[in-house]
């Protein structure tokens, strides 16, 4: 259970602890964000440093759009309507305090089978063994709920004792009733997975719904302000 223990937030400074969660999240995500590096193979993964939050999910679930929305940027992370466009693990440094990690999507992708298998192996290597990974945000399309490929990823993370949290994306495209049904079903299923966080979040990169809550949740993992990078 070493990974699960490592997933807990680090101690924060007294000043940071005194801030309301939403304000801490707002301040963190208002900081300068920059592309740090990309890795196309396990050997090219950067040396672990800042705490990392990974964004995983099926191809075209909206990972890149969500990261851009959290940062208040339109195109820091390149988005595409074509599934499988993200072919590397991309690292984004947020104010020298937190690393946001955009993972290649799993499931259907407009790419050769060999390339998809290589991406999947790279993602699994990263998720299983990254010492600085604090939490994986597993994104689920709110219109469709959990798919078999999502469940396979959840099972892999459970076996690795790598803590993850389910986030329903594109919530603006699901009606309120349908969203509540999907959220209830996902919550019920997540309760049967030992490494899954019990709170299911719903967000929209278009309307902004849920972004403040997600920023607040992620801010607890950031390196305290003023502390030097490892």
The CATH T-level fold of domain 2-9+35-211 is Rossmann fold (3.40.50)
Is residue 116 pLDDT above 90, yes or no?
Answer: no
Is residue 19 pLDDT above 80, yes or no?
Answer: no
pTM: 0.84
- CA dist 84 and 78 (Å) reads 12
Least Cα distance to 158 among 188, 138, 179, 187 occurs for 138
Least Cα distance to 93 among 211, 229, 203, 210 occurs for 229
Express each pLDDT in 172-208 by its tens digit.
Answer: 999 889 999 999 999 999 999 999 999 999 999 999 9
pLDDT given at position 81:
45
pLDDT given at position 80:
43
Write down the domain spans for the chain: 2-9+35-211
Q: What SS3 state is found at 38?
A: strand
Query: For the packed helices 211-219 and 21-29, what is the interaxial angle rounded to 10 degrees?
Result: 90
Mean pLDDT of the chain: 84
């Amino acid at each position: 259970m070493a990974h699960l223990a490592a997933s807990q937030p680090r101690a924060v400074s007294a000043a940071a602890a005194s801030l309301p969660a939403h304000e801490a999240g707002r301040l963190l995500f208002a900081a300068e964000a920059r592309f740090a590096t990309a890795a196309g193979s396990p050997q090219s993964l950067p040396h672990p440093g800042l705490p990392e939050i990974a964004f995983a999910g099926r191809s075209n679930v909206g990972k890149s759009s969500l990261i851009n929305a959290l940062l208040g940027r339109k195109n820091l992370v390149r988005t595409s309507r074509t599934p499988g466009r993200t072919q590397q693990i991309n690292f984004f440094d947020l104010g020298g305090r937190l690393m946001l990690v955009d993972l290649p999507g799993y499931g259907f992708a407009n790419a050769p089978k060999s390339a998809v298998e290589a991406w999947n192996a790279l993602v699994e290597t990263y998720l299983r063994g990254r010492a600085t990974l604090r939490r994986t945000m597993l994104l689920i399309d709110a219109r469709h709920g959990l798919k078999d490929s999502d469940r396979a990823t959840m099972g892999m993370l459970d076996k690795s004792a790598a803590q993850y949290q389910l986030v329903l994306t594109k919530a603006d495209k699901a009606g309120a009733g349908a969203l509540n049904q999907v959220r209830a079903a996902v919550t019920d299923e997540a309760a049967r997975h030992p490494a899954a966080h019990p709170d299911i979040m719903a967000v929209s990169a278009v309307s902004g719904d849920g972004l403040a809550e997600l920023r607040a949740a992620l801010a607890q993992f950031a390196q305290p302000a003023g502390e030097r990078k490892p």
